[in-house]
Amino acid sequence: MSGSCDLDTRQALSSALGVVADMPGAVVHLDLSTVPFCDAASVAALVRASAALSGQGRRLLLHDPPYSLRKVVEMFPEECAALEVAA
């Protein structure tokens, strides 16, 4: 992914996550290295996508998430427990 994830791009993010959910494999990797910002609603969309994949016995693994995403996860750890960030 690239660009900010916010109100202006929420529909595109939802579409992209739908495509991600249809990708084959036990682990779906999502590169966020060129995403400078994710608002809370975008983080919630990522949580829903991760939970949906988990329900299929699969994982969504986030790579290089922006500071804003990490901050939301820090503020809402229980709500964001479904998110998995690569070390």
CA distance readout (Å), 48 to 21, 56, 59, 79, 80: 11, 13, 12, 10, 9
Model pLDDT, residue 69: 96
pLDDT band at 29 (very low <50, low <70, confident <90, very high): very high
Q: What is the pTM of this model?
A: 0.93
Query: Is residue 87's pLDDT more than 80?
Result: no
Neighbours of 71 (CB within 10 A): 14
Task: Give alpha helix (H) positions in 26-86.
Answer: 40-55, 67-75
The 10s digit of each residue's pLDDT in 9-28 is 999 999 999 998 888 899 99
Model pLDDT, residue 38: 96
